[in-house]
Amino acid sequence: MYYVYILRSVGHNTRYVGSAEDFEKRLTEHNLGKCRYTSGRRPWQIVFTETYSTRSDAMQREKFFKSGQGRKWLDENIKK
């Protein structure tokens, strides 16, 4: 299984969209500072996940969430 996840920075109230096979392990990596983009806004918490059977489907959905329409959907449906 593959996951698309939305993280929220507890201290900075910013959002991060990603995909992974093991989103809990990936969250740990984000919170340990192992990810360059997210290391400066720790700690992070998961606020939303979706499950997909293929990596391709998960990456396509991640790409949508990073688009203008996707960010709008997140703003309307996921509380900051």
Question: Is 8 inside any structural domain?
Answer: yes
pLDDT category at 79 given cuts 50, 70, 90 is confident
Cα 39 vs. chain centroid, distance in angstroms?
Answer: 14
Question: Is 59 inside any structural domain?
Answer: no
Residue 45 has pLDDT above 70, yes or no: yes
Question: Is 40 inside any structural domain?
Answer: yes
Question: Is 77 inside any structural domain?
Answer: no
The secondary element (H helix, E strand) that includes residue 68 is: helix 68-77
Question: Is 31 inside any structural domain?
Answer: yes
Question: Is 42 inside any structural domain?
Answer: yes
Tell me the three-class secondary structure of 38-59, residue by residue. CHHHCCEEEEEEEEECCHHHHH
- How many domains is the chain built from? 1
pTM of the model: 0.91
Question: Is 61 inside any structural domain?
Answer: no
| 50: containing domain | 1-54
Report the distance separating Cα 4 and Cα 18, nearest Å: 6
Residue 80 has pLDDT above 80, yes or no: no
Question: Is 7 inside any structural domain?
Answer: yes
